[in-house]
Amino acid sequence: MVTTSEMRADAKHGEIDQLEDLRDRPGLFKQFRTFARKQPLGLAGGLVVLLFIVLAVLAPWLSPFDPEASSYAHMLAPPGTVSDEGTFILGTDDFGRDVLTRIIYGAQTALFVGFTCALIGATVGLVLGVGSAFFGGKIDLLFQRVMDVFMAFPLIIMALSIVAIFGSSIQNVIIAITIPFIPRCARVVRSSALAIREIPYIDAARANGFSNTRIILRHMVPNVMAPYLIMVTAFVGQAILLEASLSFLGLGVQEPTPAWGLMLKNAQEYIRSEPWIAIWPGLAITLGVFGFNLFGDALRDALDPRLRSAQ
């Protein structure tokens, strides 16, 4: 027979083991170094992401001009034009605004929309997905059918329908992009959570009389963090692309806010005579999305061992 004191001793050993585990876990810096060594493309992506974050944060100090001030004297000036106020390194647009400045400020819009949509969309999806997996049965079945319905709308079509009704403003663009993200994240998280539900510690938690909310939030959610983080990084890139597409169609961010898609929309008219306006904003979108995708891919490889070899 096992006495209580023996059990206590066992528990203590367990705790000590856990502590040792924690001690052996490599530090953040070491983890980062391993990531950088194993995932050179991911590191490159991370650097691009960092570059855009720096651009967005330091925009007022980095950019040479005011992003919204138009100037009739310098309309459609080619790259490198020197004026009294400074040099238009990448030229100016049809309102005489500096293209470089608008690209730097555009990073603010893109990242703001990108991170907000990705975080809200993925988090709501996370809670719904884990909840559906946890309750299972009829709730799960119904939930899956509802997700099927939402997934039947291509991303941009759903976003367009939402903008069609609520009108185009930056808040509505964020709503329009966030909603289609929810089922996409919920589905991925649900499949991971289904596996976790079968692990005995969930039964143990139930046996302890913990509430459903507590089990979902404290015991299941932390264990599906890997797919969640992967989805978030993937979503940021997608959201940037979607926002640019909506703005390009004239249904997203409105003038005079600097946004890359909007810049391309205006540039279309001048493609024959002043092609530089069309090149740089597109390059910014591509580079931004490219960075997030590379980083996200590498993160997935690092966090999800099952996919490590395959992708």
Partner 1 sequence: MRPSPKTIEFRELARSITVAAAADYRHSWHGVDAPMLQYVVKRLLLMIPTILGAAFIIFFILRVVPGDVCELKLGGDGGYYDPKQVEICQKNLGIDRPLYEQFGKFVVGIFTFDYGNSMDTGKPVVEEIGLRFQLSLQIAIMATLVSIIISIPLGTISAVYQNSWVDYLVRTISIAGIAIPSFWLGILILLGLLNISDWLWGIRWSPPLTYRPIWEDPYHNISQLIWPALATGYRYAAVATRMTRSSMLEVLREDYVRTARAKGLLEKLIINRHALKNALLPVVTVIGIEFAFLMGGLVVTEQVFNLNGLGQLLVHSVTGKDYTMTQAIVMIIVLMFVFTNFIVDILYAWLDPRIRYS
Contacting residues toward partner 1, per CB under 8 A: 41, 145-146, 148-150, 152-157, 160-166, 237, 241, 244-245, 248-251, 261, 264, 267-268, 271-272, 275, 278-279, 281-282, 285-290, 293-294, 297, 309-311
CB of 230 to partner 1, least distance (A): 15
Dist. CA 206–CA 218, nearest whole Å: 12
Q: Which is nearer to partner 1, 92 or 238 (CB)?
A: 238
Mark 292-304 as b/e (b = at least 16 C-beta within 10 Å): bbbbbbbbbbbbb
Q: Which is nearer to partner 1, 65 or 288 (CB)?
A: 288
CB of 74 to partner 1, least distance (A): 23
CB of 47 to partner 1, least distance (A): 15
Query: Quick check: helix, strand or coil at residue 81?
Result: strand
Q: Which is nearer to partner 1, 14 or 154 (CB)?
A: 154
Dist. CA 278–CA 263, nearest whole Å: 8
Q: Which is nearer to partner 1, 133 or 163 (CB)?
A: 163
Apex 33 CA angle, 29 and 36, nearest 5: 135
CB of 95 to partner 1, least distance (A): 19
Do the beta carbons of residue 240 and residue 113 sit within 8 Å?
A: yes
CB of 118 to partner 1, least distance (A): 16
Q: Which is nearer to partner 1, 101 or 293 (CB)?
A: 293
- The distance in angstroms from the start CA to the end CA of the chain is 52
Do the beta carbons of residue 42 and residue 297 sit within 8 Å?
A: yes
